Structure 1
Amino acid sequence: MSPDMDDKNISPKRTFLFSLFLTILIGECCLASTIGIASGQATADGRPLLWINLDRPDDRVSAAYFQGARFHFLGIIPSNDTTTVWMGVNTAGLALVSVVSAGLEGDSTGQSGQFLKTALALCADVQEFQNLLDITNDRRRKVKAHFGCFDKRGRAALFEVGNSTYTFFDVDDPIENSDHFLIRSDFSITGVGSREEGVWRYHRAKKLFQHAIMGRMLDYKYLLQHVARDLANEEVDPDPWLRSGNLVPPAAEFLDTENSLNSYNTAACCVFQGVRENEDELLTTLWIILGNPVAGVAVPLWCRTGEIPKQLVSTEVGIFKMAGENKDKLYKKVGSGRQLKLKAHTGKKSWSRNALLHKENDIFDMVDQKMLVWRRTAPSLKELVVMQQKAIDRILAVPGRRE
């Protein structure tokens, strides 16, 4: 049990509020996803990173802004269903993601997204999230999931959470985790039963993180462009072809991505970049690719804006619509599934890898230049809103607005 906390933090006095939240929760579909978290000791710039590739058959995903009981927050939700939040960041600088894992303790599931929403509304940091788990252990949460998180102090952790128990993993544990990062997929380290589901993605993501850390190049860009969009499967790794800029061998027309980090069913990707000690927690950045990562472009979002650009809210227009159209051009039905058309992916059309990454790199440059200034002098709300919109305009080829 975690130590007691003062009146400003979560305490047993708030159990009524927790109980209220937890009794109105509704079910959610089972998700197949992969998450990774790295502390500032592993990253190139000393800021923590949190990544998730969200896989689900229904790929309608959108962003939403919530005014919570204690903190406001940005969340990624299933279409327009605001009862469930799969990942998000709040105004205290707490970033949080979840992935369902059937092998954990208990027999009740379906509420990890609602639990995460509650946590973002009420918890300021990793310790308070752990206190929330302590308080709800005896209430039999309908949760069987992994939760990855970091806070404004740079603390990073992963929790394997069952109905009435949980296991805490410190990303910076000097004995158990000297690499300062952790990966999880559909199976649990502490769970029971088969570990076949997600094992390939787990080891692939771990290998990519290790490679980046050894080269001191683990940053948000690497996660978005090399991990989230990774297409390797058990038999072939097309990455060397893609890096060389050459077309794939003529015989390699299609690529099976069923077990890839970027699979056909990947509906969204998020990368959260935290802050260093003494930096403003409101500069914690949520980078989101709505839609299949190889078909989309990352957009930066900040809690301080208090809003979500309209092009990220609807699944019928804007960013999601563009990514959906690109996905239709990049994948083809082969047998009982869908495979990536490699020549379309490496071609010269607007939906090709190079065209999409060109737009994304322009956005990275814009944001990086501004962040150098904002880390010295806090940006105004207007500056952040303008930057969000400029990124979207760049993606959708709308003439840029002046600041």
Structure 2
Amino acid sequence: MYANRASLIRMLILLLIWKCSPLELLACTTAVISGNATADGRPLLWKNRDTSASHNEVILLTAGPLRAVAVVNAGARKSAWMGMNEAGFCIENSLSKDLSIKGKKSGPANGRFMKQALQTCKTVADFKKLLDETNKTGRRTLSNFGVIDAQGGAALFETGPNSYTMFDANDPATAPHGYIVRSNFATTARDFPANPTPEQLGKIYSAERYSQACSRLDLQKAKGITVDYLIRNLTRDLSSKTGTPWPGTVNGSKQKLPAIIKTNNTISRTTTVSAAVFQGVKPGEDPSLATMWTILGDPSFSIAVPCWVAVQDIADPLADDNGAALGEIAITLRAWSKTDDGKGIKTEYLPGIWSDLWPVEDQILKLTQSFQQGRREHGYSADAITRFHQKMALLAMTAMQKELRDMKQAALALPTPPPPRFAPVKKTIVIP
């Protein structure tokens, strides 16, 4: 009885924390980008994932009609949190609780619904059809779903349990710049326009991250948005509440970092557990060329690795039921830099981490660009694609392991704290 009562109390405490802590569970930031807005004409999709499930991994989904690759909670296979399939269809989401409605719901929730879409949908139109069908049969979704496909489709769907609204990134009336950004609100639930301004958003939760993502994309739109830019400048954005990037960060002025950066309003946060940038294909290209650039762990402490549906196996550093090794190192690196309250980052080690990891990531990006060009021109076997994927994962893992060793050495080099000093005992204690 007491054990059951204790379990009930723990469950109630966890529920209270969940209800009262949007910082932990409601912090994903995403964008759907039409090929009209990219440098090479291929659509892009991006998500920074924030959740309390800190241990993530990459898996292959092989049981459904369509083969897929996805980021999941480590050891969990019933839900997918971002992924792509063999048809070149890619999907991600951000949670939007303002789409909730009263009454009991049934059917798949956000993660299971995305897994279902990956296993059955080939196009944005297929996904829309799936939404139409499940409007009737039931869902438990509260989500902004971003999707792209191999036919040039790029759209965002604000999706409740029995309704949805589609925003087409290829429609100039809906997306005048060719992209749609979302954080953790739905415009349809608040009577906002498709692309609200900061003034229209006011002080709603996640407004700062939405505005920061829009600002970063606006700065690049004239040149054309690229995979490299999303990986480096969006996933790792560290800006103040007013939207100004902190000095010394990737988007900030070349000045000294502040000693501490509070991440309550930043895109890269102390609750970020993974990120992905999907590069689609042009209409007529082989859908298997679609790439999921995966960052396990907080992007500020990790490296992007390319993944493809055609690989025979996911590289070891990205796959483990207890948490992929690459992501676990990123978790450790961040843990050493977290403030005591867990809501900020002490920046002392950031310049060294970035100067070590980012050149390796640049190398991976460059090698992958050449590899993909070779695939377009000659076509490569699944075995060759797997070997290259494993090689890139090994490059990333080697750099991360070195960074971990360096961090341990730095910790060992810290001066030993002095022994505690106690006040002298002034009272004589007589022991009979």
Question: Which structure has more helix as a fraction of its residues?
Answer: 2
| 1-structure distance, mates of 2:125, 2:249 | 44
Q: In the alignment, is the contact (CA less than 8 A) between 2:65 and 2:120 conserved in 1? A: yes
1:229 aligns to 2:236 (yes or no):
yes
Q: Does 1:342 align with 2:324?
A: no
Please tell me whether the aligned partners of residues 76 and 87 of structure 1 are also in contact (alpha carbons under 8 angstroms). Answer: yes
Aligned equivalents of 1:331 and 1:392: distance in 2? 26
Deviation at 1:126, TM superposition (A): 0.5
Decide which of 318, 321, 330 is 2:328's aligned counterpart: 321
Asked if the contact 2:247–2:256 (Cα under 8 Å) also holds between the matched residues in 1, the reply is: no
Indicate whether 1:56 and 2:55 are aligned: no
CA contact (8 A) 1:106 1:164 kept: no
Q: 2:223 aligns with which of 203, 212, 215?
A: 215
CA distance in 2, matches of 1:34, 1:74: 21
Q: Distance in 2 between matches of 1:277 and 1:38?
A: 15
Alignment-derived partner of residue 148 in structure 2: 150
Task: Answer whether contact 1:104 1:161 (CA < 8 A) is retained.
Answer: yes
Paired position in structure 2 for 1:304: 310
* Contiguous gaps of at least 5 residues in structure 2: 1-23, 192-200, 400-432
Aligned to 2:277: 271
In structure 1, C-alpha distance between the alignment counterparts of 2:255 and 2:333, rounded to whole Å: 19
Shift of 1:240: 5.8
TM superposition outliers: structure 1 runs of 4+ over 6 Å? none
Q: 1:174 aligns with which of 172, 175, 181?
A: 172
CA deviation string 1:44-91 (max 9, x = no partner): 111100000000123111111111431010111111110111110000
* Aligned residues of 2:79 and 2:112 also touching (Cα < 8 A): yes
Q: Report the RMSD for the aligned CA atoms in angstroms.
A: 2.1
- 8 Å contact from structure 1 (residues 148, 158) kept in 2: yes
Aligned partners of 1:85 and 1:308: how far apart in 2? 15
| Counterpart contact for 1:106–1:144, Cα < 8 Å | no
Alignment partner, residue 213 of structure 2: 205
Q: CA deviation at 1:105?
A: 4.7
Aligned AA (2:316)? K
1:306 and 1:92 map into 2 onto residues whose CA distance is 17
Q: Is the 8 A contact 1:52 1:270 kept in 2?
A: yes
SS of the residue 2:28 aligns to: strand
The alpha-carbon distance between structure 1 residues 212 and 370, as it changes in their structure 2 partners (threshold 3 A), is same
Separation in 1, partners of 2:184, 2:246? 24
SS in 2 for 1:117: helix
**Cα offsets for 1:252-291 (capped at 9, x unmatched):** 2111112100011010000000111221100100000000
Q: What is the letter of the counterpart of residue 239 of structure 2?
A: A
Query: How many angstroms apart in 1 are the aligned matches of 2:323 and 2:282?
Result: 38
CA–CA separation in structure 2 for the residues paired with 1:396 and 1:136: 41
Q: Secondary structure at the match of 1:270?
A: strand
**Which residue number corresponds to residue 372 of structure 1?**
373
Distance 1:30 1:324, change over 3 A: closer
Q: Secondary structure at the match of 1:303?
A: coil
Count of aligned pairs:
361
Gap change, CA 1:171 and 1:239, over 3 Å in 2 = farther
Q: List per-residue Cα deviations over 1:122-145 (Å, max 9, x = no partner).
A: 111100100000111112311111
Q: Residues of 1 paired with 2:238 and 2:75: CA distance? A: 29
The alpha-carbon deviation at position 32 of structure 1 amounts to: 2.4
For 1:281, the equivalent position in structure 2 comes to: 287
Question: 1:356-383 deviations in whole A, cap 9, x for unaligned?
Answer: 1011011011111111111112111122
Query: Could you say if the C-alpha distance between residues 378 and 30 of structure 1 is closer, same or farther in structure 2, counting changes exceeding 3 Å?
Result: same
Structure 1: unaligned runs, 5 residues or longer: 1-28, 399-403
2:132 is aligned to 134
Taking the aligned partners of 1:38 and 1:316, their CA distance within structure 2 comes to: 30
What is the CA distance between 1:328 and its match in structure 2?
2.0
In the other structure, the counterpart of 2:29 is 34
1:89 equivalent to 2:89? Answer no
Q: Which has the larger radius of gyration?
A: 2
Aligned-partner SS, 2:128? helix
Counterpart contact for 1:105–1:164, Cα < 8 Å: no
**What is residue 401 of structure 1 aligned with on the other side?**
none
Separation (CA, whole Å) in 1 of partners of 2:213 and 2:96: 17
Contact 2:55–2:323 at 8 Å: present in 1 too? no
Aligned partners of 2:317 and 2:394 also within 8 Å: no
Matches within 5 A, 1:362-401: 362-397=363-398
Contact 1:359 1:395 in 2 (8 A): yes
Report the AA paired with residue 214 of structure 1. A
TM-score, length basis structure 1: 0.85
**Structure 2-normalised TM-score?**
0.79
> Where does residue 159 of structure 1 map in the other structure?
157
